[in-house]
Amino acid sequence: MFELLVSRMASLQQQIAEEKTQNQDTMRNLITIFHNLITPNTSKIYNTCKEAPIAERIVKLQPEKPFKEPMTVLCDQEYDSGGWVVIQHRFDGSTNFYRDLREYKNGFGNLEGEFWLGLDRIHQLTSSKPHELVVLLEDFDGNKTYARYTHFEIGGEAQLYELTQIAGYSGTAGDDMVGMKGMKFSTLDSDNDTWGSSCAITYAGAWWYGACHRSNLNGKYLRGETKEYASGMVWYSFRGHHYALKSAKMMIRPVG
């Protein structure tokens, strides 16, 4: 009887050990799967976000024209069938957007948070093939709206990142990029607008200003109604010049 009990105890201990090993293997497999899901796969290079798997948000792209290096971008695969490159995203004011031309040229922020992709990268993408642009906006009351353009392109550094194409508006936000075609990009240290003073300094932003603006998506993050005129993250036709929006997302993708 005692020997039988010892035998059963040994068998039970062996079974527990085997199950523990299996559970550890299962846990390791789950950890590996989770790690693969949350870790950006930047080893493979794509021509467009449309080519990237839906599960991959941060990828490397190589525009068709022979630019220097592939670029790391954030893809949006949810809006209108996906395939979008996010070029600007703001939603909580955690990143300062009042920066100089060098920083706007190279890009800043975190692709998982608030960021500006960089004028050089936007130029490389939009000059490699025709692109469309969509601007997604939200106020602090939960109202959402959008502006979409069938043609969007900017020039390179030698052209001061001129907005060479902005056309084909549709949407619900209002066309507040109207009149911006041909405008060069201005920052606090590079005044290229058509106004007598500096729009970028006066309205605390960086944009394709004329004299001065109906939209200022790189302006201050002021959180709703404000006494300040036009210096917030504004889209005039949506909430006017005295209302700073909660979020803005600018995305581009190849046409066709």
Q: What are 94-145's pLDDT values in tens digits? A: 999 999 999 999 999 999 999 999 999 999 999 999 999 999 999 999 999 9
Residues 53 and 132 in one domain: yes
Residue 34, pLDDT score: 46
pLDDT tens digits, 207-228: 999 999 999 999 999 999 999 9
User: At 37, is the pLDDT very low, low, confident or very high (cuts 50, 70, 90)?
Assistant: very low
Q: Which of 209, 241, 246, 247 is nearest to 228 (CA)?
A: 241
Tokens of 124: 């490389």
pLDDT of residue 153 exceeding 50, the answer is yes
- Mean pLDDT, to the nearest integer, of 35-46? 61
Question: How confident is the prediction for the chain on average, in pLDDT?
Answer: 90
pTM: 0.83
Residues 28 and 108 in one domain: no
Residues 205 and 224 in one domain: yes
Residues 31 and 81 in one domain: no
pLDDT tens digits, 84-101: 999 999 999 999 999 999
Domain of residue 71, CATH code: 3.90.215.10
Residue 256, pLDDT score: 79
Question: In 10 A of CB 146, how many CB atoms?
Answer: 17
Residue 87, pLDDT score: 99
Tokens of 83: 């395939």
Residues 27 and 55 in one domain: no
Is the preceding peptide bond at 212 cis, omega within 30 degrees of 0? yes
pLDDT tens digits, 59-87: 999 987 666 689 999 999 999 999 999 99
Residues 17 and 125 in one domain: no
Residues 144 and 233 in one domain: yes
133-136 long-range CB contacts below 8 Å, 24 or more apart?
A: 133/166, 133/250, 133/251, 133/252, 134/79, 134/80, 134/84, 134/250, 134/251, 134/252, 135/171, 135/173, 135/177, 135/217, 135/235, 135/248, 135/249, 135/250, 136/79, 136/247, 136/248, 136/249, 136/250, 136/251
Quote the domain boundaries for residue 35.
1-39
CA distance 228 to 212: 15
Residues 33 and 49 in one domain: no
Residues 114 and 29 in one domain: no
* Count: domains in the chain: 2
